[in-house]
């Protein structure tokens, strides 16, 4: 029984081994995948470089971008100021409410 099991395992190991053609085919597939990936990365790098070169050469685009950034900063600042004013008004209303409650409490005790 042990001999038969050992023979089965040997047979299984032999079946699992790859032939040189199978190894070569796997290596070719892996090589093709890596080549395609490298080509995609190269194309992306070239595209990014061309875009950056175009952008650097276009003064009007850079001017528009900087103006848009300045407007965005201004709007952010304005929104922060509005939020601060709203918070201050809310705090004043709360303080007035507490003063009224305090006065009501004093009248009630008096």
**By the 8 A CB rule, do 55 and 61 touch?**
yes
pLDDT given at position 18:
83
Alpha-carbon separation of residue 50 from 39, 46, 57, 109 (angstroms): 16, 6, 11, 80
Measured CA to CA, the distance from residue 74 to residue 68 in angstroms comes to 10
Q: Which pLDDT does position 30 carry in this prediction?
A: 97
The pLDDT assigned to 58 comes to 82
Instruction: Please tell me the predicted confidence (pLDDT) of residue 17.
Output: 85
* DSSP 8-state code for residue 110: -
Whole-number pLDDT of residue 90: 97
pLDDT one-digit tens code per residue, 9-50 = 999 988 888 888 988 999 999 999 999 999 999 999 999 999
pTM of the predicted structure, to 2 decimals: 0.43
Q: How is the chain split into domains, by residue range?
A: 20-57
Chain segment 47-82, per-residue pLDDT in tens: 999 988 887 778 888 888 899 999 999 999 999 999
d(CA 104, CA 32): 85
Q: What is the pLDDT of residue 52?
A: 87
Q: Name the region of 6 (left: φ>0; alpha: ψ -120 to 50; beta: rest).
A: alpha
Report the distance separating Cα 44 and Cα 32, nearest Å.
18
Look at residue 62 in the predicted model and tell me its pLDDT: 81
Average pLDDT over the chain, rounded to whole?
92
Torsion of the alpha carbons at 24, 29, 32 and 36, rounded to the nearest 10: -160
């Amino acid at each position: 029984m042990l001999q038969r099991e050992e023979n089965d395992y040997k047979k299984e190991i032999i079946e699992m081994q790859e032939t040189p053609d199978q190894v070569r085919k796997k290596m070719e597939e892996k090589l093709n995948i890596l080549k395609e990936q490298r080509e995609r990365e190269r194309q992306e790098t070239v595209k990014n470089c061309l875009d950056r070169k175009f952008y650097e050469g276009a003064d009007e685009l850079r001017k528009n971008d900087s103006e848009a950034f300045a407007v965005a900063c201004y709007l952010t600042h304005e929104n922060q100021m509005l939020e601060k004013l709203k918070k201050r008004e809310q705090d004043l209303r709360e303080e007035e409410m507490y003063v009224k409650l305090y006065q009501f409490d004093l009248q009630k005790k008096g």
